[in-house]
Structure 1
Amino acid sequence: MRTEAIVCGAGVAGLATACALGNLGLRVALVDKQDAPKPVAKGEVFQPGSLRILRSWGVAQRLESAGALRLARLVARDSAGTPQMALDYGTLPGKDRWLLAHDYPAILTALTESLPSTVEFRRGVLVKGLLRNQDGQVTGVRLADGTIEAPLVVAADGMSSRLRKEAGIEITRAEYPHRLVALELHDAPEVEADFSAYVTERGLRLRYPLPGGRIRLYAQVRPDELRGGDLVSWGRALARETPALTPLEDAILAALPERQVLPVARFLAPKLWIPGLALAGEAGHAVHPMAAQGMNSAIADADCLATVLAESGDLASYHRRRQADLALIGRTSHAAARMITDLSWAGRTLGRRALRHTGANQRLRYTVMHNMSGLGSHPLTPLDRLHQIGLLPDPRARRLPAWA
């Protein structure tokens, strides 16, 4: 079989890439080894920059029709629920001035239903490896039952990417010293329509609403914290040690049997391409979910790759355009995570100072929000970092940055 592009993996990165390339009019083969998507707690919140792209594909409209929720703010709170830093997305430019939340399976469905007619989607197909010509350029993939040839292969096969490894692209994966427990709460009291991260003595507690009156709750735990322990006691402590979550105690206890425990890591591949192959999504990069950037970065990958193919077809240009943005996203996500998840004395002290001073500084607060939104990159300077932790006063703290 011969086509113009092969996308391997049908998570958000793969589906988004197939949408983007299919909308160029390319004949795309999209393959995934799973017979059906797994219901995992990941990739549920879109940033404004991603919504702009998804709206152009018709995906955002499908999600909103399916009940997706608009979240007005991203808020860092103390354990009692008092805001320490609030990012108000309504102050951003453009039309989509909010976060949009829905279940991961619903997002995959909306992307699948938006695939152009030029995309052939096959499930239950295992990609065994890469095809190469005598010069070493990738020319397709080997399947369990044959081959597919194409001038472009996109590896969107996740963090443990088989294709990235076969391409010889080595990564250095940094594991965080904690895990996240994901709970889906039902029949719980209504919460504010925002993305709230709680700073507690035991680390991150993160919650946001989902359609149907449900709530997604993440809790930071030690790698072995739930092994052989009393889950009910753990759930009660989770609710009572964070007073803002105490009203959710019954829903937390009811959700414990269906909990998911997720490892957390970060990396950025040194190369996002070799001749004939491009990396997309978690095949090329991963960040802590604290700042809601992982899925959004994958959608930006897809959009950038399509733009490059339409302009020049030079995959090196795709790498150059994405690498700087991904490095900034990685730094931003890591800094946000450390503010709340670092449980050392120094980490907690610096983290709370940074939240307090950033939250009180309109210029820094807007810059951080704009960077996270995917609407453009404006890296913080070393001087900004000193303002963030209160070592130097900022005379511009009460106004928007000049570029805004």
Structure 2
Amino acid sequence: MSRIVVVGAGVAGLAAACALGRLGHRVLVLEKRQTPARVAKGEVLQPGSLAILRQWGVTELLDQAGALRLSTLVARAADGEPRMVLDYHRLPAEQPWLLAHDYPVILQALTDALPPSVEVRRGVVVREPLRAGDRITGVRCDDGDLPAALVVAADGVSSRLREAAGLSAPRQDYPHRLAAFELAEADVPPDFSAYVTDGGLRLHYPLPGRRVRLYVQIGPDELRGLDQDGLRRWADGVLAGCPGLAPLAGALHAGLAQRQLLPVGRALAASLVVPGLALAGDTGHLVHPMAAQGMNSAIADAHELAAVLRQGGSLAPEVVDHALRRYDRARRANLAHIGRTSHNAARMITTRSWLGARALAGTGGNDRIRHEVLHTMSGLGVRKLTLLDRLHQARLLPDPRARRLPDWVRTAAPAPAGEAAR
């Protein structure tokens, strides 16, 4: 039986292994780390991803692990007043909610759902791809060569395989970073809340065990060199500039030492494939985390790659390469739109521009546009906004259809709060 090699055991790599293994292929996952890193990312799953993960048995495992259902994504003023509310219960989905849990727990659920035809090897460093002419035919590791009918590069932003294959994904960094905090013994409503403040984005959502993930937008060197007293003063400034965070004040001060500083950028590779190799996840694309799209796009990559390979019916080189070209066309078009949507959402929240403020208010006050944006962000399918929609969104033109809901919107009453917060 021909073999597929997946390089990287993050969400993108494990999702690819799960999807491809379910086709009956023999899949080998190679990961340089012995244990997953505990990072403050990839903790919120969108309904589109949940529909895929449900097919693989992953959502059931996450529910058993205590994952939380979040009912809304809310953009708020600094005092906590809602400015835009995306109500996930209005979506035409079997699981119309966001699902939140720790990144390592999500990785474990994916690992536990892997089919028997998938093997994961940790502590393996992949040096370079193997080639036969212009085609990738496997990978070279420290302990030997591993031939493959297909290589999936899911080895992250700094992918060695991507560069060696001649692919590039130029990164555009945002002029800010995010400081991530895990707050213990804290409670917030069951939603994904982003605050617009003079100091930039403040974002939080609950995690199991009465924990809260809090992100604070900072300048590149804002926290550099601060001692304990300096950090306390910094936290006081954050709270003063965002009164809506007042209920988290004690937890923030207690959690200042346990912080992660995250660079923020966006990227999309000019191509996601070369003959014999496909890029997946952060290896091929990046978005601002404001819209909770990064991990979800990686899961969609895996699902699409499996779909085109299933239609091909074999792992013969010409069949694989035809499938890869189809994968590239389908995913790049989707990723380009998701990237623009995420970037526009980030600009509305992270900058204090006149146009951003109008766009946020215009989206929040326009039922039609707000629901179209919700559908795209949920991963259920791209709903493109026209130039006229953009003018309505920025309140440069009145919209006579502003109160007209799209046909797909559920009109039933929302689920009870207890069910949403499960």
Within 5 Å, which residues of 2 pair with 1:246-257? 246-257=246-257
Q: Which residue of 1 aligns with 2:414?
A: none
- Aligned with 1:53: secondary structure? helix
Counterpart AA for 1:170? S
Deviation at 1:186, TM superposition (A): 0.4
Which of 365, 368, 380 is the matching residue for 1:360? 365
**What are the Cα deviations for residues 89-116 of structure 1, in whole angstroms up to 9, with x where unaligned?**
0001021100000000110110111111
What is the aligned residue count? 397
- Aligned with 2:297: secondary structure? helix
Counterpart AA for 1:74? L
Query: Does the aligned pair in 1 maintain the 2:70–2:191 contact within 8 Å?
Result: yes
Which of 328, 332, 337 is the matching residue for 1:323? 332
**What are the Cα deviations for residues 5-54 of structure 1, in whole angstroms up to 9, with x where unaligned?**
00000000000000000000100000100010010000000000000000
Q: Which residue of 1 aligns with 2:293?
A: 293
Deviation at 1:75, TM superposition (A): 0.3
- Aligned with 1:256: secondary structure? coil
Query: Does the aligned pair in 1 maintain the 2:91–2:408 contact within 8 Å?
Result: no
CA distance in 1, matches of 2:127, 2:152: 14
CA distance in 2, matches of 1:376, 1:19: 22
Counterpart AA for 1:59? V
Which runs of at least 4 in structure 1 moved beyond 6 Å after TM superposition?
none
Matched, 1:242 2:242: yes
- Aligned with 1:257: secondary structure? coil
Stretch moving more, 145-154 or 230-239: 230-239
Deviation at 1:3, TM superposition (A): 4.7
**What are the Cα deviations for residues 168-191 of structure 1, in whole angstroms up to 9, with x where unaligned?**
112221000000000000012x21
Counterpart AA for 2:64? S
Q: Which residue of 2 aligns with 1:394?
A: 399
Structure 1 unpaired stretches of 5+: none
CA distance in 1, matches of 2:3, 2:309: 12
CA distance in 1, matches of 2:32, 2:324: 26
Query: Does the aligned pair in 2 maintain the 1:239–1:249 contact within 8 Å?
Result: yes
Query: Does the aligned pair in 1 maintain the 2:169–2:285 contact within 8 Å?
Result: no
Q: Which residue of 1 aligns with 2:206?
A: 209
Within 5 Å, which residues of 2 pair with 1:4-403? 4-133=3-132, 135-188=133-186, 190-229=187-226, 230-312=230-312, 313=320, 314-343=323-352, 347=353, 349-401=354-406
CA distance in 1, matches of 2:241, 2:272: 43
Counterpart AA for 2:374? M
Deviation at 1:238, TM superposition (A): 1.4
- Aligned with 2:256: secondary structure? helix
CA distance in 2, matches of 1:403, 1:198: 29
CA distance in 2, matches of 1:351, 1:197: 14
Query: Does the aligned pair in 2 maintain the 1:16–1:111 contact within 8 Å?
Result: yes
CA distance in 2, matches of 1:323, 1:329: 10
- Aligned with 2:209: secondary structure? helix
Deviation at 1:4, TM superposition (A): 1.5
Sequence identity of aligned pairs in percent?
61
User: Normalising by the residue count of structure 2, what TM-score does the alignment of the two structures yield?
Assistant: 0.93
RMSD: 1.0
Counterpart AA for 1:154? V
Query: Does the aligned pair in 2 maintain the 1:220–1:341 contact within 8 Å?
Result: yes
Query: Does the aligned pair in 2 maintain the 1:3–1:29 contact within 8 Å?
Result: no
Deviation at 1:71, TM superposition (A): 0.2
Deviation at 1:380, TM superposition (A): 0.7
CA distance in 2, matches of 1:33, 1:52: 30
Counterpart AA for 1:320? R
- Aligned with 2:35: secondary structure? coil
**What are the Cα deviations for residues 330-358 of structure 1, in whole angstroms up to 9, with x where unaligned?**
00000000001124xxx2x2222111111
Counterpart AA for 1:335? N
CA distance in 1, matches of 2:310, 2:3: 13
User: Normalising by the residue count of structure 1, what TM-score does the alignment of the two structures yield?
Assistant: 0.97
Query: Does the aligned pair in 2 maintain the 1:3–1:148 contact within 8 Å?
Result: no
- Aligned with 2:214: secondary structure? strand
- Aligned with 1:212: secondary structure? coil
CA distance in 2, matches of 1:117, 1:240: 54
Query: Does the aligned pair in 1 maintain the 2:70–2:98 contact within 8 Å?
Result: yes
Q: Which residue of 1 aligns with 2:415?
A: none
Deviation at 1:136, TM superposition (A): 1.8
**What are the Cα deviations for residues 150-207 of structure 1, in whole angstroms up to 9, with x where unaligned?**
110000000111100001112221000000000000012x211000000000000000
Counterpart AA for 2:15? A
